[in-house]
Each structure stands twice: as C-alpha cells, then as structure tokens.
C-alpha cells in the first residue's frame, strides 16, 4: 500500500504578486448569457448550470477547463429549468438546488459526482420552497435559509446532515427577513448577511453549528448590497459585484474580503465595469473565475482574478516520516532536495500545480542531494511528489517571483 504524508512549513517570508483582473474567452455562442446560474469547481474544472436567459429558464449544464479556456456541454441538470438557484462544492462533490421554476418555489437538493458526471437527488427540505436563499456547506452539513417564497421574505434556517440524508430546523437568522443575501463558509462556520428585505443591508452574522447560535460581525464599511456572488478562500470570505442600496447596479464591480479572525473588511480591486445582478463564480487553485450576470442585458463574458498564493502553516514536527528535506521554502528559483540519513532517493520526483497536473519530472538514481530549477514556474503553490517502488510522499512549497 502506498503511504502519503503531507509536509507543511511555517511561512513568514513576505512577498508581493500582481492582483488584477484578466479577460478570458467569452462564452461560446451556444451558451446563453444568464443571471442566477449555479456554479462550483471540482477537480480543477469549473461548472455552471441553469439560470435565467433571454429564452427563459434553463437546465443546461457546462464544464470549464481553465487550461484551454474552453467550455463543454454536459447532460442537462435533472432538476429541471430554474432561476434564483445556487450551488457549491464540498468535499469532492457539487451541490445545487432550490430556486424558482415557472410554476413553483423549489426545495429540492441534488449532488453532482465529478467522477461519473452524474446527479443524485437527495432528500428535499421540509421547509417552504424558496428562491435566492443562503445555501452553503459547513461542518459536514448543508445550510439553507432566508430567501423569497410564496409567503414573502424568510429568515428561517435549516440544516441537512450529509451523512444521514436528513433535515432539521435550527435557530432562525437574527437579522431582518430578506432574500438574495451574500454568504460564505470559513473554518466550518457559515456567514450570512446583506440582501434585500425592508431595505438593502450591509450587516453580517456568523452561525456556529456546534452551539446553534448566531453572532453579529462588523458591518461592511460601504453601502448595503444585494444580488452579487460570493466564495471562500484561505480562511476568508469574499463578496463580489451586485447592486447597491438604490437597487441599481453598483458603480464599480466592488470586491471585498472578510477576515473572521480579525472581524474586519478589506477592499480589493473591482472587476471591470459596473456591478452586475446575479453573476456566478468559482475558485480553481488561487484564481476566482467570474461569469455572466445581468447588466441591462445578459452578459456572456468570463474574467479571472489571481488571489493570494496558497500558504500552508501546519507544524512539521508530526511529519517525521518524510525521507527528505527541501529548502528554501518559499523559493525564488532553485529548490534544494536532500535525503535524510539512511535513505536513498531512488525513484521519481514530480512537481504538480494546483490542478494536480504534472509540470516537471525528475528521475533519481542513488542521488542523495540535488537541485531543481524552477525558473519556468510562476508565483504560486506547488506539490512535490516522490514515489519509489514501495511508497510515495508529498510535500508542498511556495514559489515567489
């Protein structure tokens, strides 16, 4: 049996990198621009489905390859055409559900398996069907709440147990009833706020699944907003684009980062153009991809933004079985590899990117110390994998240019 060990270092070196938006290929003409698509990323690919288009509600479903900047149509989403629905990825699967069809507010839940590219329907929520709710996963649970319904705006909060396929109601959201909130997960806790009810809001609340309690966090230091997109990355939450307190497009595609550890907000570079109504987004590696949305017309463009490089800070003392050491980490151009006493590096070293793709390979035969030239790599996090005839080991390192 192959054993895998992960070695992570404390990283204290400061570094800088370019943070700007890049325009990618527009959606092909066969894919209509839309608002309220559900989106998520799995195994180095992005996925987008459903939403409202110029031709009405859709159930089509697509896969995006960031290496070729190309989209492929997959089998349609089996839940049927809908708008005001959301999706997310969690522990190797994609999830989508809820929203509004041409005849009803929906409360279904579906799981996508990327290995077979098939959907499985899970237990429906025993709650009111709803459009544009908060919809996310944390602590091996799925949480749904708020949104619009046949009864008006809501603030109830429901939990789905992924392991048991069962729902239960939790304590309600403490803020005003609303629809189209922003939301994200950090450190297995949901964060929910903003949105539209009797006003357009800029508040934010943290939910603790263990204690079933809500805590109010600091407000966004800007105007309230509704109907943008959101995601989580490296223990921080992000909100992007949308409409402002006048329920009109934000003057810029505002981009904000929330750090729960310090309970503060930081503004990042706005995406080009005005804010959009109900775009989609997904994160692959350290890039967020921003897709479609509505800005007086249905948009069909795609943009990406490079986030901070992935940094790992776990203590190495529990990983004493790694048979070699690497230095420096972070590195600028050269990675030094040295075998520990009593171990021969006879095997293959592969360097992989965040998509899991091999970009450099070195074969070693009784070499106990050598260097790898990394001058061809851009800034970012990479994996170094060593495999001999018996076992394998993996470590991570950071390249800083």
Residue 5 predicted with pLDDT over 80 = no
pLDDT at residue 309 in the model? 66
Answer for the pair 250, 275: CB distance below 8 angstroms, yes or no.
yes
CA distance 233 to 286: 8
Count the neighbouring beta carbons within 10 Å of the beta carbon of residue 2: 9
**Structural domains of the chain sorted by starting position, each given as residue range(s) with its CATH number in brackets:** 6-10+312-399 (2.60.40.3080), 21-306 (2.120.10.80)
Reading phi first (left if > 0) and then psi (alpha if -120 to 50, else beta), residue 326 is in beta
pLDDT at residue 10 in the model? 26
C-alpha distances in Å from residue 379, one per residue of 65, 160, 358: 21, 39, 16
What average pLDDT does range 345-352 have in this prediction?
83
pLDDT one-digit tens code per residue, 140-150: 999 999 999 99
CA distance 331 to 321: 23
Residue 3 predicted with pLDDT over 80 = no
Residue 11 predicted with pLDDT over 50 = no
Tokens of 377: 């790599």
Average pLDDT, the chain: 88
Tokens of 179: 């629809």
pLDDT at residue 366 in the model? 67
The predicted model scores a pTM of 0.77
pLDDT one-digit tens code per residue, 273-296: 999 999 999 998 889 999 999 999
CA distance 177 to 332: 51
CA distance 62 to 315: 40
pLDDT at residue 19 in the model? 65
Give 310's pLDDT tier (boundaries 50, 70, 90).
low
What average pLDDT does range 378-391 have in this prediction?
78
Residue 134 predicted with pLDDT over 50 = yes
C-alpha distances in Å from residue 322, one per residue of 264, 346, 394, 398: 38, 14, 8, 18
Closest CA to 386 of 334, 336, 347: 347
> Residue 67 contacts by C-beta under 8 Å, 6 or more apart in sequence?
355, 357
**Which of residues 326 and 87 earns the better pLDDT score?**
87
pLDDT at residue 57 in the model? 98
Q: Where is average pLDDT lowest: 4-18, 150-164, 326-340?
A: 4-18
As beta bridge partners, residue 93 has: 90
Count the neighbouring beta carbons within 10 Å of the beta carbon of residue 360: 17
pLDDT at residue 162 in the model? 96
pLDDT one-digit tens code per residue, 58-99: 999 999 998 899 999 999 999 999 999 999 999 889 999 999
**Which of residues 384 and 121 earns the better pLDDT score?**
121
What average pLDDT does range 98-105 have in this prediction?
97
**Which of residues 213 and 399 earns the better pLDDT score?**
213
Q: Where is average pLDDT lowest: 46-55, 262-271, 298-307, 337-346?
A: 337-346
pLDDT one-digit tens code per residue, 175-221: 999 999 999 999 999 999 999 999 999 999 999 999 999 999 999 99
pLDDT at residue 368 in the model? 78
């Amino acid at each position: 049996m192959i054993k895998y060990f992960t070695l992570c270092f404390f990283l204290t070196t400061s570094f800088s990198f370019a943070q700007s938006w890049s325009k990618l290929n527009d959606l092909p003409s066969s894919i209509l621009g839309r608002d309220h698509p559900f989106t998520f990323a799995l195994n180095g690919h992005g996925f987008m489905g459903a939403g409202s288009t110029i031709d009405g509600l859709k159930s089509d479903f697509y896969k995006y390859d960031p290496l070729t900047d190309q989209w492929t149509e997959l089998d349609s989403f089996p839940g049927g055409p809908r708008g005001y629905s959301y999706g997310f990825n969690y522990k190797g699967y994609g999830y989508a559900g809820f929203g509004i069809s041409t005849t009803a507010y929906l409360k279904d839940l579906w799981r996508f398996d990327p290995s077979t590219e098939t959907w499985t329907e899970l237990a429906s929520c025993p709650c009111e069907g709803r459009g544009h709710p908060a919809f996310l996963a944390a602590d091996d649970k799925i949480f749904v709440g708020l949104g619009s319904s046949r009864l008006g705006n809501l603030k109830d909060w429901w939990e789905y147990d992924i392991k048991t396929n069962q729902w239960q109601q939790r304590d309600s959201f403490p803020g005003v009833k609303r629809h189209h909130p922003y939301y994200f997960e950090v450190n297995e806790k949901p964060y929910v706020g903003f949105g539209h009810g009797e006003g357009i809001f800029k508040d934010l609340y943290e939910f603790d699944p263990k204690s079933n309690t809500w805590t109010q966090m600091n407000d966004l230091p800007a105007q309230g907003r509704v109907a943008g997109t959101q995601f989580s990355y490296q223990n921080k939450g992000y909100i992007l684009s949308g409409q402002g307190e006048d329920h009109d497009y934000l003057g810029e595609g505002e981009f904000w980062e929330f750090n729960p550890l310090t309970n503060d907000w930081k503004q990042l570079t706005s995406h080009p153009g005005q804010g959009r109504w109900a775009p989609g987004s997904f994160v692959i590696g350290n890039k967020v991809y921003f897709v479609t949305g509505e800005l007086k017309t249905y948009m069909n463009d795609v943009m990406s933004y490079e986030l901070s490089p992935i940094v790992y800070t776990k203590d190495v003392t529990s990983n004493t079985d790694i048979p070699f050491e690497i230095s420096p980490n972070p590195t600028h151009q050269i990675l030094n590899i040295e075998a520990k006493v009593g171990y021969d590096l006879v095997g293959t070293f592969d360097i992989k990117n965040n998509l899991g793709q091999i970009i450099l390979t070195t074969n070693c035969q009784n070499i106990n110390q050598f260097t790898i030239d990394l001058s061809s790599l851009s800034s970012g996090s990479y994996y170094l994998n060593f495999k001999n005839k018996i076992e394998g080991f993996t470590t991570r390192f950071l390249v800083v240019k």
